[in-house]
């Protein structure tokens, strides 16, 4: 079975369970590992959530709300991402992950939604840890995207579904080669993807929190399916 590498974060268990419950195997990727060691035998990459990406990486001074930047993690994950994509590995990027994905390819971020997005809705829903799956707002998914295809069974009125939300930053200027695939009602970007890749999707909410109930299972199934294809192609090549 395909092996999915998940970047280390403080709340790793739901990511791990989301992959295990669609039948994948998991390796937790530690920031101290070499890129070669981290990716050896890995068939797909899941970029997890966490603290803010260093604004210096997209040429901006930090907003007062930017705290707990982990430069070493940024270094590792950006190098990891570029190496994974060079090997045509499928990528699913979640929360901080989608922000890092965008920055790694030249995009920028909204550093603080409440103070920098006029009329912003609440994107940082304060709920107890055991209610991490609580729905916060809807998103509008663009037609003819990978995300729309994967979430077709959950969409209402053809293009909307509800998501949870725990972030104060978001994608601002989308990196070259990527397109917006979902937005919140206030215009905040909720998902991007590279349509030129077999599978490279980033989402701002936390689909991993729903591994028990499966609302966003298709995202993880798609990652695993593309990872399995990569595994099979590697077997043929060897």
Which residues have a catalytic role annotated?
95, 206, 208
b/e sequence 168-190, b meaning 16+ C-beta within 10 Å? bbbbbebbeebeebbbbeeebbb
What the block records as the tokens of 150 is 């994967």
C-alpha distances out from residue 41 to 2, 97, 127, 132, 236, Å: 9, 21, 38, 32, 15
* Residue 60 neighbours by CB under 8 Å, 6+ apart: 108, 111
Return the residue matching tokens 């890749």. Answer: 197
* Residue 111 neighbours by CB under 8 Å, 6+ apart: 52, 55, 60, 62, 63, 65, 66, 169
SS3 (DSSP) at 225: helix
The DSSP secondary structure of 115-130, one letter per residue, reads: HHSTT----B----GG
DSSP classification of residue 40: T
**CA–CA separation, 232 vs 12, rounded Å?**
27
The DSSP secondary structure of 155-190, one letter per residue, reads: -BTTTEEEE--B-S-EE-SPPTT-EEEEE-TTS-EE
What the block records as the tokens of 92 is 């699913």
């Amino acid at each position: 079975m395909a092996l999915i590498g998940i970047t280390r974060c403080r709340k790793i268990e739901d990511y791990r369970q989301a992959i295990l419950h669609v039948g994948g195997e998991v390796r937790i990727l530690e920031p101290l590992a070499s890129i070669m060691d981290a990716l050896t035998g890995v068939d797909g990459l899941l970029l997890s959530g966490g603290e803010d990406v260093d604004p210096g990486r997209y040429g901006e001074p930090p907003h007062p709300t930017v705290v707990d930047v982990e430069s070493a993690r940024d270094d590792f994950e950006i190098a990891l991402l570029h190496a994974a994509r060079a090997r045509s590995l499928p990528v699913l990027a979640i929360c901080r992950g989608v922000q890092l994905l965008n920055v790694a390819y030249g995009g920028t971020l909204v550093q603080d939604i409440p103070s920098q997005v006029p009329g912003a809705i609440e994107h940082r829903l304060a709920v107890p840890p055991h209610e991490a799956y609580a729905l916060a707002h809807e998103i509008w998914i663009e037609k003819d995207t990978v995300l729309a295809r994967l979430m077709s069974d959950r969409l209402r009125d053809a293009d909307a579904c509800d998501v949870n939300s725990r972030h104060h930053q978001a994608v601002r200027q989308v990196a070259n080669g990527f397109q917006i695939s979902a937005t919140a009602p206030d215009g905040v970007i909720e998902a991007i993807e590279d349509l030129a890749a077999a599978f490279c999707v980033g989402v701002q909410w936390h689909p991993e929190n729903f591994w028990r109930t499966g609302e966003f299972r298709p995202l993880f199934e798609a990652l695993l399916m593309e990872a399995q294809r990569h595994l099979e192609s590697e077997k043929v090549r060897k």
